[in-house]
Chain A
Amino acid sequence: MRKFMMAAAFALPLLGSTAMAQETLKIGYIDPLSGGGASIGEVGLKTFQFLADELNAKGGIQGKKVEIVPFDNKTNPQESLIQAQKAIDAGVRYLTQGNGSSVAGALSDFVTKYNERNPGKEVLYFNYAAVDPVLTNAKCSFWHFRWDANSDIKMEALTNYMKTVPAIKSVYLINQDYSFGEAVRSQAKAMLGAKRPDIKIVGDELHPLLKITDFAPYIAKIKASGADTVVTGNWGQDFALLLKAAADAGLKVNWYTYYAGGTGGPTAVKQANLNHQVFQVGEGIPNLEHKPSQDFEKAIRAKYDFSLFYPRAVNEMRMLAAAANKAKSIDPVKVALALEGMEFEVFDGGKGYMRKDDHQFFQPIYISSLGERSEKEPFDEEKTGWGWKLVAKIDTPQTVLPTTCKMERPN
Chain B
Amino acid sequence: MLELIVISTLNGVLFGMLLFLMASGLTVIFSMLGVLNFAHASFYMLGAFFGFQISRWFGFWPALVIAPVLAGAIGAAVERYGLRRVHKNGHVAELLFTFGLAFAIEEIVQIIWGKSPVDFRVPALLDFPAFTIFSTNYPAYKMFMLLVSIAIFIGLLIVLKKTRIGLIVQAALTHPHMVGHLGHNVGRIFMLVFGVGTALAAVAGVIAGPALVTQSNMAGLLGPILFVVVVVGGLGSLPGAFAASLLIGLVQTFAVSMNGSLAGAFGPLSPAYASSWLGDIWGVTIAQIAPIMPYVLLVLILIFRPMGLLGTRET
Contact = CB atoms under 8 A, between A and B. Distances in A.
B216 A34 contact: yes
A281 to B, nearest CB: 26
A173 to B, nearest CB: 12
B8 interface: yes
Contacts of B110: 34
The B contact surface, by secondary structure, is mixed
Contacts of A35: 115, 215, 217
Interface residues of B, number: 36
A217 B129 contact: no
Given A177-B288, A205-B287, A217-B253, A38 B136 contact: no
A119 B74 CA distance: 55
Given A214-B212, A217-B257, A248 B3 contact: no
A250 B140 CA distance: 13
A382 to B, nearest CB: 11
A321 B132 CA distance: 57
A56 interface: no
Interface in B233-279: 252-253, 256-257, 259
Interface in A24-43: 33-36, 38-39, 42
A208 interface: yes
Interface in A203-249: 203, 205-208, 211, 213-214, 216-218, 220-221, 223-224, 237, 241, 248-249
A205 B221 CA distance: 21
A223 B288 contact: no
Contacts of A207: 256, 287-288
Contact of B115 (A38, A211, A223, A237): A38
B87 to A, nearest CB: 33
B135 A250 contact: yes
B4 interface: yes
Given A35-B115, A206-B288, A250-B135, A220 B217 contact: no
B163 interface: no
A220 B4 contact: yes
A404 B291 CA distance: 36
Contacts of B98: none
Nearest to A208: B291
A250 B137 contact: yes
A220 B213 contact: no
Contacts of A39: 116-117
Contact of B257 (A33, A208, A221, A248): A221
Contact of B211 (A34, A72, A214): A214
Contacts of A208: 291
A342 B135 CA distance: 54
Interface string B290-306: 01000000000000000
29 contacts: A35-B115, A36-B213, A42-B116, A72-B115, A203-B259, A207-B256, A208-B291, A213-B218, A214-B15, A214-B212, A216-B7, A217-B252, A217-B253, A220-B11, A220-B136, A221-B256, A221-B257, A223-B4, A223-B7, A224-B3, A224-B257, A237-B117, A248-B137, A248-B139, A249-B7, A249-B136, A249-B137, A249-B138, A250-B136
Given A38-B117, A211-B221, A214-B15, 18 more contacts: A34-B216, A35-B215, A36-B217, A206-B287, A207-B287, A211-B291, A213-B218, A216-B142, A217-B12, A218-B256, A220-B3, A220-B11, A223-B7, A224-B1, A224-B3, A248-B142, A249-B136, A250-B135
In order of increasing CB-CB distance, the 9 nearest A-B pairs are A34-B115, A250-B137, A213-B212, A38-B116, A224-B4, A220-B7, A217-B256, A248-B139, A35-B217
Interface of A: 33-36, 38-39, 42, 72, 177, 203, 205-208, 211, 213-214, 216-218, 220-221, 223-224, 237, 241, 248-251
